[in-house]
C-alpha cells in the first residue's frame, strides 16, 4: 500500500509540473496554436507519456476543477447545519479567491477559459460534476421532503452564479473583486425567487 501512495504522489507531481509547463505555453503562444507535441517537448516527455496523464489539452487546463468539486463538498460538510443551504453554498464558493497568486496570470488564464469555446464547454462539464459531488449533502440540508430535482436546481443555480461572476470579473479585468460579484449574483437570484 505504501508503494501505491508513493506512485500517486509521483503521478500528482508530474501532473502539476506538466500542467504548469503547458499553461506557460498556452499563455505565451495561445491555446489553439499550442500542440500536444509542443507540450511533450517542453516537458521533456514523449507524446505517448503525455497522453497517459491527459486525454486532451482542455484536460490540462481544467485538471484542478474536478478536485475543486470534492473540496467544495468537504467545505460544505464543514458548514454549520443550521446555516441555510443557499448561504452555505455562497460561503463555500467564496473560498475561491481572486486575490491569491499572480493577478495578471489569473486574468490571462480566465480570459483564455472564457474565450476558447472548447475550454468553456469542458469547464461547464466539470461544473456538472460538482453537481454530482454536492448533491447528497445539499439534499440532506434541504430536508427529507426534498428530492434530487430541488437539490440539483439549487446547486446548478449556485454554479451559474459562480460562472456569471467569473465572467464579469474577467471582462472587468479584475477591477471588481470576485467575492463581491459572487455575493451580488447570489443576492440577485435570491431576490428574484421571492
pLDDT at res. 101: 66
Q: How far apart are CA 158 and CA 162, in angstroms?
A: 6
pLDDT in tens, 52-103: 999 999 999 888 776 788 889 999 999 999 999 999 999 999 986 544 567 7
Could you tell me which of 63, 92, 75, 64 has the C-alpha nearest to residue 182?
92
Q: Which letter does DSSP use for residue 83 in this model?
A: S
pLDDT at res. 48: 93
Q: Which of residues 114 and 144 earns the better pLDDT score? A: 114
User: Lowest-confidence range among 3-12, 30-39, 178-187?
Assistant: 3-12
What are the φ and ψ backbone dihedral angles of 130, each rounded to 5 degrees?
-60, -40
pLDDT at res. 3: 63
pLDDT at res. 98: 45
Mean of the per-residue pLDDT values of the chain:
89
Number of residues in the chain: 194
pLDDT at res. 41: 95
pLDDT in tens, 9-52: 888 888 889 999 999 999 999 999 999 999 999 999 999 999 99
pLDDT at res. 117: 93
pLDDT at res. 193: 80
Which domains does the chain show, CATH number per domain?
1-55 (1.10.10.60), 56-192 (1.10.357.10)
Three-state SS for 121-133 is HHHHHHHHHHHHH
Amino acid at each position: 500500500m505504501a508503494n501505491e501512495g508513493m506512485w500517486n504522489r509521483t503521478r500528482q507531481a508530474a501532473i502539476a509540473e506538466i500542467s504548469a509547463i503547458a499553461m506557460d505555453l498556452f499563455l505565451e503562444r495561445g491555446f489553439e496554436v499550442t500542440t500536444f507535441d509542443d507540450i511533450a517537448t517542453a516537458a521533456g516527455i514523449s507524446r505517448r507519456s503525455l497522453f497517459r496523464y491527459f486525454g486532451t489539452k482542455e484536460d490540462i487546463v481544467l485538471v484542478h476543477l474536478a478536485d475543486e468539486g470534492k473540496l467544495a463538498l468537504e467545505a460544505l460538510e464543514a458548514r454549520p447545519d443550521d446555516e441555510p443551504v443557499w448561504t452555505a453554498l455562497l460561503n463555500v464558493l467564496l473560498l475561491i479567491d481572486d486575490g491569491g497568486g499572480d493577478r495578471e496570470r489569473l486574468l490571462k488564464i480566465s480570459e483564455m477559459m472564457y474565450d476558447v469555446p472548447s475550454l468553456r464547454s469542458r469547464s461547464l462539464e466539470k461544473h456538472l460534476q460538482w453537481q454530482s459531488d454536492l448533491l447528497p449533502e445539499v439534499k440532506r440540508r434541504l430536508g427529507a421532503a426534498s428530492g434530487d430535482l430541488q437539490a440539483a436546481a439549487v446547486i446548478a443555480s449556485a454554479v451559474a452564479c459562480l460562472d456569471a461572476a467569473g465572467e464579469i470579473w474577467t471582462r472587468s479585468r479584475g477591477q471588481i473583486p470576485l467575492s463581491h460579484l459572487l455575493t451580488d449574483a447570489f443576492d440577485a437570484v435570491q431576490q428574484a425567487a421571492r
